[in-house]
Chain A
Amino acid sequence: GENVEQHPSTLSVQEGDSAVIKCTYSDSASNYFPWYKQELGKGPQLIIDIRSNVGEKKDQRIAVTLNKTAKHFSLHITETQPEDSAVYFCAAAIDYKLSFGAGTTVTVRA
């Protein structure tokens, strides 16, 4: 089955700085790569996604890149704010079945 690795497991950044989370996947059949933000006590919230026919996608302060050849994709958050503090999960999907990374706990220091 699909195996998704996510790094780093924890990330502490100063408010206003950028945060980068990286993921790799194993199955070249994966064709959908969403990112979720999970706050304490809540369900995962879809923040951005990218499909296998696209290399980069941006939505305001959030961007995602995909390198199909290398089987890796990354989340970039610019101008971080305290409300960006949460656990972030990457995922890779085959037929919409998601395999998740282990998660990254992001802390934004004021």
Chain B
Amino acid sequence: SAVISQKPSRDICQRGTSLTIQCQVDSQVTMMFWYRQQPGQSLTLIATANQGSEATYESGFVIDKFPISRPNLTFSTLTVSNMSPEDSSIYLCSVGDGGGELFFGEGSRLTVL
């Protein structure tokens, strides 16, 4: 399976600031997704990161709050903008390889004060 690296692994941020999370994969993948896992909760899909075009957002998530880039088949970024304490979560990158399986990175643990 692909090796997925996320940076930062954790961060503490101030209210009103923005943070960009990076997802790097060691091989080209067809599918990349971003998920959010709120404290003690399950995972929720934020958006599909499309290579070379705008991301596709799920209901309840908007581009102004969670801008996403995917310049190539191995890299994507998720920005959490104008953060509030409610944005404190684990943000996870997921990738799909040619076999159709979906794998996750270790996550980026964000605390907003």
User: Which A residues form the contact surface with B (CB < 8 A)?
Assistant: 1, 32, 34, 36, 42-46, 49, 51, 89, 93, 96-103
Q: Are A89 and B59 in contact (CB under 8 A)?
A: no
In the complex, what distance in Å separates the CA atom of A89 from the CA atom of B40?
A: 12
Q: Does B96 contact A (CB under 8 A)?
A: yes
Residue from A1, A44, A45, A98 in contact with B59 in the complex, judged by beta carbons closer than 8 Å:
A1
Q: Does B102 contact A (CB under 8 A)?
A: yes
Contact A98 to B101, CB < 8 A, known contacts A43-B92, A43-B106, A43-B107: no
* B92 pairs with A44, CB closer than 8 A: yes
Verify B43–A89 contact, CB threshold 8 A. yes
Contact indicator B100/A96 (Cβ below 8 Å): yes
Contact B42 A46 (CB under 8 A): no
Chain B contact patch, size range = 20 to 34
Contacting residues, chain B, for A101 (C-beta < 8 A)? 42
Interface residues of A, dominant DSSP: strand
Are A89 and B42 within 8 A (Cβ)? yes
In the bound complex, residues from chain A placing their C-beta under 8 Å from that of B44 are 100
Q: Which chain A positions have C-beta within 8 A of B102? A: 34, 46, 93, 96, 98
Give Cα distance in the complex from A96 to B102, angstroms: 8
Binary contact track B70-113/A, C-beta < 8 Å → 1, others 0:
00000000000000000000001010100011111111000000
> Do B104 and A36 touch across chains, with their CB atoms under 8 A apart?
yes
Least CB distance from B111 to A in Å reads: 14
Is B106 within 8 A of A49, CB to CB? no
Chain A residues lying within 8 Å of B50, measured Cβ to Cβ, are none
With A42-B106, A43-B107, A100-B42 already in contact, 16 other A-B pairs whose C-beta atoms are closer than 8 Å: A1-B59, A32-B100, A34-B102, A42-B107, A43-B105, A43-B106, A46-B101, A46-B103, A46-B104, A49-B101, A96-B33, A96-B100, A98-B43, A98-B45, A100-B43, A103-B42
